Amino acid sequence: MLRDILLKPRLRAAALLAAALLVAVASGIVFARMHEPETIQSGPGVSRETMLSEFLPALLGTPGDSPVFVLEGEEEGGNFLLIGGCHPQEISGMMAAIIAVENARVTRGRLIVVPQANRSGFTHTEPLEGFPHRFTINTPSGPRTFRNGMRLTNPVHQWPDPDLYIHHPSGEPMVGLEARNLNRNFPGKPNGRMTQRVSYALTEMARQEGVNLVLDMHEAYPEYPIINMLVAHERAFEVATMSQMMLQMSGINMGLMASPRQLRGLSHREFGDATEAFAVLSETANPLMGRFRGRTDNRLLIEGQDDNYVRAASLGRLFVPFTEEGHPLVRRVARQLATINELVTAYNEANPDSPVIVEGLPTHDELLALGIGAFLMPPVAGN
Amino acid sequence: MLFDDLLMWSYRLLALFVAVGMVAVVIRSPDWRNQVFASLVLVPFLMRAMGVK
């Protein structure tokens, strides 16, 4: 029978089509699961949950809509917008935002958190890179699973890429795939393509909610020059400088860079120009994203250790130190949390009449000592 | 949004067209190499036509 199947074209065709259908269904199930919305839990400090579509109804029901968590103090004060997941493979920002949602309590002012700003980007991974799509953090109540996404909006949600992407409203030309890069689309466009609409919703939220301070949390590969750094709009430069100094004094090496005026579409530029907010972006080091890396697996994603990068550091090819200890996720998240704490402190000192008082966030040293899992709520269905 | 929807459906129809073409090659080709390669190409285009990947 097998000989018949192999030798007779029609039987061979039927067998191959059946095999192709089986592979398509099996892998299709895996890809379809990547589109299921991920559950992000509210901590005790959350006053209100909403979605980005509240600020742009055109996003409602689309893959671009994303949860927004509002933590409000009893006293009025300033408004702080914390963004994670603008680039979904840069996971320390998302994890720091989730820790904020699940632990922070605001006594004065408001903290608005968007843990997965580009939610579409969490439904896929970078083609041909072999990135893991999920990673697990152990908590005292069991393991929790989170998504590791891709820098850009999923092309099944926004297609095709133009040959040349023209930023709105500046007219700056960029390579076509930047049309799906959330951090090149700010301030966005309400009737634009999906990534433009997500950018617009975030900017509109900052406008409507009177946001005074924005921190957009990112990561970069170790051979990239803008790394372990704050990038600040000119209005925010003094506050960012104070934050950097305090981080340095606590032993956390952090650079500082002014937001280039001619580089458009990025959060630190456009939130500062389009709103009254102090706009800052932070970068930590993620070796999974880099070109020198060796085996690409969950171990690299979590532990951040790579022999190739150790060698590259010894040859002076990197912009961050890289030892056998690597850059584990816990250290990167700790840096983001330390940045949040110092930025809020610096902002409050500069704006004593409208502070944002946030309690309950773990410090840098607490997170390193106890681990990420110690500050996560028990797992529920969906994570 | 309508323009984006039109683009997306164009994409999926194009993918479906290629997928159907590959099915035709698998069925009609007497050469086992063409049949194997067409069945390999069929898989991702089927998923693109379904809007999964």
Tens of pLDDT, residue by residue over A312-347, are 999 999 999 999 999 999 999 999 999 999 999 999
Instruction: Note whether B39 contacts A17, CB cutoff 8 Å.
Output: yes
Instruction: Note whether A28 contacts B29, CB cutoff 8 Å.
Output: no
**pLDDT at position A177:** 96
Report the amino acid identity of residue A347.
Y
A352: Cβ–Cβ under 8 A, 6 or more apart, which residues?
A: none
**pLDDT at position A48:** 97
The rounded Cα A203 to chain-centroid distance in angstroms is 16
A72, pLDDT greater than 80 = yes
Measured distance CA(A54)–CA(A260) in Å, rounded: 31
- Give the CA count within 13 Å in the CB-facing half-sphere of A217: 31
Least confident among A2-11, A167-176, A290-299? A2-11
Cβ atoms < 10 Å from Cβ of B4? 16
DSSP state letters, chain B: -HHHHHHHHHHHHHHHHHHHHHHHHHHH---HHHHHHHHHHHHHHHHHHTT--
Say which of A13, A27, A160 has its CB closest to residue B7.
A160
Q: Give, in degrees to the nearest 5, the angle at Cα A300 between A296 and A304.
A: 140
Measured distance CA(A183)–CA(A195) in Å, rounded: 9
Q: Examine residue A379 and say whether the peptide bond preceding it is cis (omega within 30 degrees of 0).
A: no
pLDDT digits (tens, 9 = 90+) for A32-48: 899 888 788 999 999 99
Averaged pLDDT of chain A: 95
**pLDDT at position A382:** 60
Instruction: Note whether B47 contacts A17, CB cutoff 8 Å.
Output: no
pLDDT-above-70 percentage for chain A: 99
β-partners of residue A176 are none
Q: Per the structure block, which two tokens stand in for B27?
A: 């069925």
B52, pLDDT greater than 90 = no
Give residue for tokens 């051979």.
A223
Instruction: Note whether A159 contacts B8, CB cutoff 8 Å.
Output: yes
pLDDT digits (tens, 9 = 90+) for B6-18: 888 898 999 999 9
Closest C-alpha to A187, from A340, A55, A347: A55
Measured distance CA(B8)–CA(B14) in Å, rounded: 10
Measured distance CA(A9)–CA(A105) in Å, rounded: 69
Instruction: Note whether B27 contacts A17, CB cutoff 8 Å.
Output: yes
- ipTM comes to 0.91
Backbone angles phi, psi at A159, to 5 degrees: -150, 145
Least confident among A9-13, A199-203, A220-224? A9-13
Mean pLDDT of A215-223: 97
The rounded Cα B45 to chain-centroid distance in angstroms is 4
The Cα of B11 is separated from the nearest Cα of chain A by a number of Å equal to: 8
Measured distance CA(A367)–CA(A72) in Å, rounded: 24
Say which of B4, B42, B50 has its CB closest to residue A194.
B4
What are the residues of chain A with a beta carbon less than 8 Å away from any beta carbon of chain B?
Answer: 6, 9-10, 12-13, 16-17, 19-21, 23-24, 27-28, 31-32, 35, 58, 124, 156, 158-160, 191, 193-194
**pLDDT at position B1:** 61
**pLDDT at position B26:** 96
A161, pLDDT greater than 70 = yes
A144, pLDDT greater than 80 = yes
Is residue A240 within a helix (H) or strand (E), and if so which, with residue range?
helix A237-249
* Higher per-residue pLDDT: A51 or B4: A51
pLDDT digits (tens, 9 = 90+) for A89-126: 999 999 999 999 999 999 999 999 999 999 999 999 99
**pLDDT at position B51:** 84
**pLDDT at position A185:** 98
